[in-house]
Amino acid sequence: MRRRQFLHWGGAALLAPRLLPRPGIAPPAILADGLLVPMDDVQSDHLKAYGLAFRVLERGVKAEWLLNYRGGSFLLPADQATSRDAALSGVTAEPVSQGTVIDLKARIQQENMDAVPLEKAPRVAVYAPPNASPWDDAVTMVLNYAGIRFDKIWDAEVMAGGLAKFDWLHLHHEDFTGQYSKFYLNYAGAPWLADMVQRNQQMARQLGFPNVPAEKRAVAEQIRAFVDRGGFLFAMCTATETLDLALASAGTDIAASYADGTPMDPQASRKMEWSRSLAFQNAQLELSPNIPAFSDIDGHQVNSLDRRQQLGAFTLFNFSAKIDPVPTMLVQCHRDVIPDFYGLTTSFTRHTLKPSATILADETGAPWTKYVHGELGQGTWTFYGGHDPEDPQHQIGDPPTDLSLHPHSPGYRLILNNVLFPAAKKRELKT
């Protein structure tokens, strides 16, 4: 979403006619009787509050996102369905009068805040194989917890053009290089790994590709095209790094050398076409099949014990709500500093990040970033390092995170910012 395009219909243009209604003309219903859903420490369940706002939009009713006001609060209609939903969900919602909203809008106009209209619930898809554990993906877990509907989609549907049905796509710990995350180094013989290999090889044959790396690269290209024509992409963990590595290998023979532990071409890093990637450039590939890392994109190198960095905390950047509404939406939170958490790709080194990328959060003084955003064509992408914000170490086989124990998770809030942000875009996804 282009900044200039957004401000054309949002921001000040929205507030001007609604701030002070002219005498004799009734204000919009949302101003007469509204529900303010605070997102500061008063809120009883931050995560379910996003679901409440999402379901309002699903019913065809409009809402507003009050950027930088009380942690990024929502202004919803005070109809019976919304009030009942808030009560059943355990979400704190405060009835507000027209006069209160008018005063609030006046304050928003004067300070680093904005009122962004939310118009339509995005069509949400999660990229995952049919046998994926529902608890092993932080986004799937929080969508279920918040009560936000989504569909799963995998390679056959992607290659058949199935992404055209969706506005928002999530990728998590998939390895788009076709190396199975090098799990064979530590989990050789594990039934789940054998099933992963068999399922991916079968899919590659079904789609007519010579091997899994070639098939995954083709899927990555379909995802890139989805963004280019107006889609919203959100990725975490391994999917961030490996998607770009797969895209940058287009037009070379690098994909063929990714196959199941086969040593890479020593000149592989030089042959990468970084004009195809979304976020990264000039990365050095990990050529050894015996080191469980992909490249130097990840600053923490979580599986390389001799290079593993300790976890710290990352800080969200403060943006101008009226000038930079998109990054402002993506960092709405009741906490500015958030404890870090590991993933196979935990962070993004600054020297591999493209200059066009917007850094949303980083660790002060560290050579890596945590949360980045950018545009491609008519769409946007957002990469968030790490696997599970409330499971910092994240070991395979750990029990699923119980989000009812973490209803105020600031790390999970960043995920849900991304789910809701497409609702602020008027333009339909081009197919």
Tens-digit pLDDT profile for residues 352-379: 999 999 999 999 999 999 999 999 999 9
Distance from C-alpha of 241 to C-alpha of 396, rounded to nearest angstrom: 19
Q: What is the pLDDT of residue 25?
A: 35
- Give the percent of the chain with pLDDT over 90: 69
Distance from C-alpha of 59 to C-alpha of 283, rounded to nearest angstrom: 45
User: Mind listing the pLDDT tens digit for each residue in 232-270?
Assistant: 999 999 999 999 999 998 766 665 555 555 566 777 777
- Residue 295's DSSP bridge partners are 285
Instruction: Report residue 59 as tokens.
Output: 């019913």
Residues contacting residue 86 through CB under 8 Å, at least 6 positions apart:
35, 37, 52, 92, 93
Q: Regarding predicted confidence, which is higher, 11 or 326?
A: 326
Half-sphere exposure of 344 (CA within 13 A, CB side): 23
Q: What is the pLDDT of residue 23?
A: 39
Quickly state the pLDDT bin for 396 (edges 50, 70, 90): confident
Instruction: Report residue 139 as tokens.
Output: 């986004």
Q: What is the pLDDT of residue 10?
A: 39
Q: What is the pLDDT of residue 103?
A: 93
Distance from C-alpha of 62 to C-alpha of 14, rounded to nearest angstrom: 13
Helical packing angle, 410-420 and 46-58, nearest 10°? 10
Q: What is the pLDDT of residue 258?
A: 55
User: Mind listing the pLDDT tens digit for each residue in 100-149?
Assistant: 999 999 999 999 999 999 999 999 999 998 877 655 799 999 999 999 99
User: Mind listing the pLDDT tens digit for each residue in 131-140?
Assistant: 776 557 999 9
The answer to whether residues 51 and 57 touch, using CB atoms and an 8 Å cutoff, is: no
Instruction: Report residue 2 as tokens.
Output: 């282009």
Distance from C-alpha of 241 to C-alpha of 246, rounded to nearest angstrom: 9
For residue 83, give the DSSP letter: H
End-to-end CA distance of the chain: 17
Q: What is the pLDDT of residue 134?
A: 55
Distance from C-alpha of 215 to C-alpha of 6, rounded to nearest angstrom: 36
Task: Name all domains of the chain by residue range, CATH numbers in brackets.
Answer: 3-118 (3.30.70.790), 124-424 (3.40.50.880)
The answer to whether residues 379 and 227 touch, using CB atoms and an 8 Å cutoff, is: yes
What pTM does this model have?
0.89
Write the single-letter amino acid at 113: M
Q: What is the pLDDT of residue 193?
A: 87
User: Mind listing the pLDDT tens digit for each residue in 91-103?
Assistant: 999 999 989 999 9
Q: What is the pLDDT of residue 259?
A: 53
Owner of token pair 């040593």: 263
The answer to whether residues 328 and 68 touch, using CB atoms and an 8 Å cutoff, is: yes
Owner of token pair 């949360």: 371
Q: Strand ranges (DSSP E) for 210-330?
A: 232-236, 313-316
CA angle, 388 then 71 then 50, to 5°: 55
Q: Which of 5, 30, 7 is nearest to 18 (CA)?
A: 30
Quickly state the pLDDT bin for 428 (edges 50, 70, 90): very low
Q: What is the pLDDT of residue 414?
A: 98
- Residue 218's DSSP bridge partners are none
Q: What is the pLDDT of residue 31?
A: 37
Quickly state the pLDDT bin for 271 (edges 50, 70, 90): confident
Q: What is the pLDDT of residue 182?
A: 81
The yes-or-no verdict on residue 171 having pLDDT over 90 is yes
Distance from C-alpha of 48 to C-alpha of 283, rounded to nearest angstrom: 39
Write the single-letter amino acid at 159: M
The yes-or-no verdict on residue 12 having pLDDT over 70 is no
User: Mind listing the pLDDT tens digit for each residue in 198-239?
Assistant: 999 999 999 999 999 999 999 999 999 999 999 999 999 999
Q: What is the pLDDT of residue 291?
A: 80
